[in-house]
Amino acid sequence: MLPVNEAELIDKQGYPKAVELSERVHWIGALDPSLRTFDIILKTANGTTYNAYAIRGSDGVAVVDTVKEGFAEDFFARLESIADYDEIKVIVLNHLEPDHTGALPELMRRAPGAQLYISQKAQAMLKALLKQDQMSYTPVLTGDCVSLGDRTLEFLHTPYLHWPDTQCTYLPEEKFLFSGDVFGCHFCDNRLFNDRAGDFRFSFEYYYAHIMRPFRDHVVRALDLIEPLPVSTIAPTHGPILRDRPDRYVRRYRQLSGSLLESEISPGHKTLLIFYISSYGNTRRMAEAVYSGAMQVPDVRVSLYDLEGGEVEPFVDLIEEADGLVFGTPTINGDAVKPVWDLLSSLTVINIKTKLGAVFGSYGWTGEGVPLVEDRLRGLKMRVPIPGLRVKLIPTDEELEACREFGLQLAQELMGLRARKVIDMADLV
Ligand code: FEO
């Protein structure tokens, strides 16, 4: 009988017990229904779960992931309900964040005969997180596997989903994919399975948007590994276990990792987005001149947006697809203005590394806004090859011409047409 309520997670004496996913696979995780914020920034209206799993083979038991430290008691009680510690031969950590490694040191103490398997990239992290130099482990990559006799664990290297260390583990005899945080969500429901739990779709989408989206190139590479596998059940580390039509969730990741916008842009064309805000119209006049200069380059689709409305959310999808971003800001009280910072801070959910970036703006006294935003763009690992352009108060005709030249150079840079600056060594002496 499959569990449908909390009573089936607890034995007759009131101790947590393991939940059967198949004859050989059990859930041994923990529920955290009262959590309302995860990692400081993620909202968790329905709490979360820390899913861990035990797999029984003819030659021993494997434990895949553990739980957050404060939930170790539930984890060990569930593990003890289906296995003895001396049966545990293998411990796999798909991801080393503390919500999955909290019970690891104690598990290794209780099961000294177990060998620990982690991804190649997890090695330094293991020492840093657990502060244990003596811990013995085996680093693994895609194609590596470990046998439990009549059950096998195969490893898939899926880095940056959402930490560098992350991997997935596949159990071919059962067609189970232990996916770590991938395909997970923060949604606590004691019915455990996707075909029994409440509607968690919003949480699945929210989790992807905040955790996986910044790494969508890595999501695509992981899906290339996962999609060919026959999968009966996806067993993530958070949220419902996806046993009913798990392929739907793989397909959804494929959709989400592609472009979210119908493409307006022809192949071979580039997009340059100019965002500005202006107090007295001076930065606006500069923005319009930058825009007209950039428009001179064929095959560059230039767009101009005023941030005065204060909206940033609608621009995030556009920015993810864009090739170049230009920001126009006045300087007020020695800083760029809040709408520009708001837009920049909203970009942490997408990958903008290597996009072209540039900044311009009018100022009255000292003009710190432009260099401060330039520093931020470099901090986001954007390319900022053309120095920011500043104008004191009202731009003159010559300064507006310089703005047009600035826009032209940015567009040329996007298309690879900008003349490289040749440094004459004689100029340096
Ligand atoms: Fe659930 Fe990234 O830890």
Measuring from atom 3 of ligand 1, which residue has the nearest CA? 97
Q: How close are the terminal C-alpha atoms of the chain, in Å?
A: 84
Task: Judge whether 219 and 161 are in contact, CB under 8 Å.
Answer: yes
Q: How far is CA 428 from CA 14, 283, 341, 424, in A?
A: 80, 34, 37, 7
Confidence of residue 6 (pLDDT cuts 50, 70, 90): low
* Total count of residues recorded for the chain: 429
Instruction: Tell which atom from ligand 1 comes closest to the C-alpha of 98.
Output: 3
Give Cβ neighbours of residue 171 (< 8 Å, ≥ 6 apart).
Answer: 25, 55, 151, 152, 153, 154, 177, 178
Tokens 């709408």, residue? 339
Kindly state the percentage of the chain with pLDDT values over 90: 83
CA 69/CA 98 separation, integer angstroms: 8
Give Cβ neighbours of residue 294 (< 8 Å, ≥ 6 apart).
Answer: 272, 274, 300, 302, 407, 408, 410, 411
Instruction: Tell which atom from ligand 1 comes closest to the C-alpha of 97.
Output: 3
In the structure encoding, which two tokens stand for residue 301, read together?
Answer: 């689709």
Task: Point out which residues pair with 26 in neighbouring strands.
Answer: 20, 54
CA of 314 to the centre of ligand 1 (A): 28
CA 167/CA 405 separation, integer angstroms: 48
Instruction: Tell whether the model's pLDDT for residue 1 goes beyond 80.
Output: no
CA 282/CA 287 separation, integer angstroms: 9
Return the closest-CA partner of residue 177 out of 135, 231, 123. Answer: 231
147, with CB counted inside 10 A (0-12, 13-18, 19+), is middle
Q: What is the pTM of this model?
A: 0.84
* Amino acid letter, residue 201: R
CA of 160 to the centre of ligand 1 (A): 11
In the structure encoding, which two tokens stand for residue 63, read together?
Answer: 């434990």
What's the pLDDT score for residue 60? Answer: 98
Measuring from atom 2 of ligand 1, which residue has the nearest CA? 97
Instruction: Tell whether the model's pLDDT for residue 271 goes beyond 60.
Output: yes
Average pLDDT in the 126-145 region?
A: 85
The per-residue pLDDT for range 177-199, each reduced to its tens digit, is: 999 999 999 999 999 999 999 99
The per-residue pLDDT for range 55-96, each reduced to its tens digit, is: 999 999 999 999 999 999 999 999 999 999 999 999 999 999
Q: What is the dihedral of CA 126, 223, 64, 144, to 10 degrees?
A: -70
Instruction: Tell whether the model's pLDDT for residue 211 goes beyond 90.
Output: yes
CA 123/CA 127 separation, integer angstroms: 7
Average pLDDT in the 7-31 region?
A: 93
Average pLDDT in the 226-234 region?
A: 98
Task: Point out which residues pair with 240 in neighbouring strands.
Answer: none
Instruction: Tell whether the model's pLDDT for residue 2 goes beyond 60.
Output: no
Average pLDDT in the 319-339 region?
A: 95
CA of 323 to the centre of ligand 1 (A): 31
CA of 95 to the centre of ligand 1 (A): 7
Strands 115-119 and 88-92 turn out to be parallel
Instruction: Report whether the peptide linkage leading into residue 95 is cis, meaning its omega lies within 30 degrees of zero.
Output: no
Confidence of residue 418 (pLDDT cuts 50, 70, 90): confident
Confidence of residue 3 (pLDDT cuts 50, 70, 90): very low
* Amino acid letter, residue 356: L
Instruction: Tell which atom from ligand 1 comes closest to the C-alpha of 166.
Output: 2
